[in-house]
Structure formats: structure tokens, C-alpha cells
Structure 1
Amino acid sequence: MLARLVLGAVTAGAMVVPAFAGMMNADEARKFVAGKVFAFTCFDGTRGAGRILDDMGAAGSVQFSGSGPIRHVRLPGNTLQIRGQSVCASLKGIPFEPCFNLDKQDERSFRGSVSGMGFAYCEFRHQGGQQMLMARAVARPRSLHPRTRSADASQTEVSRVETPQVGSAKLEPVKAEPAKVESAPELRRSTD
């Protein structure tokens, strides 16, 4: 469980990418990711696509360890925080707040890793909106009950329903009646 939380922190934090080759500071990284969708693949096979939101939260789809269901995830606002020249994550359930090394590979890709744990990294590549749309389509909730289809769909019955006629009548305005004054209900002792 802790491994998944750390991996989620790596994923979220590393999505803030650098604008120039090499290590980037937080401000340059923030400018580079604004409004962009990134696909990612991590060291353990986890993959997905997502974006950083204006409130410093993140949203996307992820498949942990490269198998199993694709899940839509949403990290709340202020999950990613800028501390000095670093990008850090504040995730509920993790006893520490990891910061990230952001290393730009080229104009469309970068590597993000947890500071001090270089083996825990994700490779990110700018994909555009199509990757996110595909991830959403695959991750949509499905019915618990299988669809049943008729054996012969060629015979369709169409029935016609008559639309009732709407009559017009003069509407009288609503008249206000004086409010009825009622005495307060009296309280009686219980006979029980």
C-alpha cells in the first residue's frame, strides 16, 4: 500500500515538467505543464495519462503495475505544493511529504523521481488530449448486469401515440385570502 502511495506521489509530482533540458525548478516546471496532458510509464510498469489542474491537484487515469483495471483518479487541490525551488506532494496517508527531481529529456518528455529515491521514477511524454479521452472511455463504469439483446432485431414495432389537444381557457389570477388565525395547540398530560 505504501508503495502505491509513493508511486502516486511520484506520478502526481513528476507531472510538473521542466521547460528546458536538465533539472528544472518549480516555477519553470509549472509553466511547462499548464493545460497539457501527459502519458506516463513508471519503473514498476504502472502507466496512465493525466494533467495538473489549476488548483495544484491532478486528474487522470492509471493502471497500477501495468495490469488490472484502469482507474480514474483525482487528487484534491493543493496536493502539489511549491516549496522554495522544489515541487512536493502532500498526500493523506503518507507520513512524509515527498519532493521531486524533474529532469527534462527533450521538448516533449521528462523523467520525474522522488528526491533521494532515484529508482522510483516515471517517464512522462506530452500526448495531447486524445490520450486522456481514450483513457476516460476505457475507464467508464460498466453495468453489473450483462446486456440482453433480442434474437431478431430486424422486426421492430413502431406504435403511434396521439398527442392530446391542448385547450385554451382564460386563467383567473390567484386571490390572496386572509390568513386564518388559529390558537396554539394545547398541551395535555399523557394518561399513560
Structure 2
Amino acid sequence: FELARKRGNRVCSMEKANVMESGVLWREVVQKVHDADYPDVELSHMYADAGAMQLCRWPKQFDVIVTDNLFGDLLSDAAAMLTGSLGMLPSASLGLPMANGRPKALYEPVHGSAPDIAGQGKANPIACILSFAMALRYSFDQGAEATRLEKAVEQVLADGLRTADLLGEDGVTPVSTTQMGDAIVAALDASL
């Protein structure tokens, strides 16, 4: 709910309350937390399987989705393919704020560390870079810097650079992990 307040002020909670008792409990707890502390945030509930379909059908209807780890893993992988690759999707696991007001947080690419392609120069660094942008925005209150970094990624993609996971056009030569990262840094520097 705190995250939604910094975004579009909407939360969709996903579970399987129709077939799982844990889903019934999840829905009840999310609703109680909403009603007690966040009545200003729009809350909706959706079954996770319908949510997966809606995420593929019309992703812009969602702002913040809250779910458990099992459904979160499934939904985030489905969402990654909306961008063309798991290598494009950042993620954040956000906990309660600490004494300094910052959330306990872990930022990482949805795909994790991708050890199967480590050291080969073919990993897409964009999810990692965008995870850092999320850290800037949500842990360090540096939204302007996060936006600058996101726009640098957008610029490099608009310029046609692609790592191997994003190739779809014949005749396009993939760039390496380092080349993609260097291009993003150059675009970031150019935005100063």
C-alpha cells in the first residue's frame, strides 16, 4: 500500500480464495490492513489464474500487485515476457520500513543471477540496471535519478541495441552484456 501511494494508488491482491484456505486468509488479512490503514488506496481482489490472464491481456490495468511467493513467481515470469525477455524485468521484495524510514528491501532481476550464462557475455543487464533504478526510487527517494536511468535504458532500446535474448529481427547483431551496459552509461551521461 505504501508503494502504491508512490505510484498510481491502486493495489490488486491476487490469491486463490476459491480453492485454497490460505487464499481465504490472505484475502481477509489484506482487506483488514487496507480498511484499517490505507482506505485512500484503491484495493481490488482477483484470483491469481485470472490475474495471469488479465496481466497478459491488459497489463496497464494494474499498478501494484500483491501476492504470495508462489503466485508472485508465476506472475512475474509471465509479466517478463510482456517485455520480450526475463532479462528485462526488475523486481523488488519490500518489507516494513526500518527506523530510518527506508523499507527492508531486496532488489534483483526477476531471473535471479542466471548462473547458466555467467561469464559468457550474453546476459542482458537491463533487469539488473532497472532493479537499481527501483532501489533509487523506493529505498533512497531519488526518483529523478531513477527516471533518468530508466530513460537511458529506453533510449538504448529505441536506438536498436539488443542482447541475444531480445533478438527477433533477422540481420540484427546482438551486443554483449558489457556493450549494452556501456551504451546505457553513455546514454545516462548524455542526459546530464
TM-score (norm 2): 0.21
Give the structure, 1 or 2, with the largest relative contact order (CA under 8 Å, sep 6 or more): 1
Larger strand proportion of the pair: 1
Q: Which has the larger radius of gyration?
A: 1
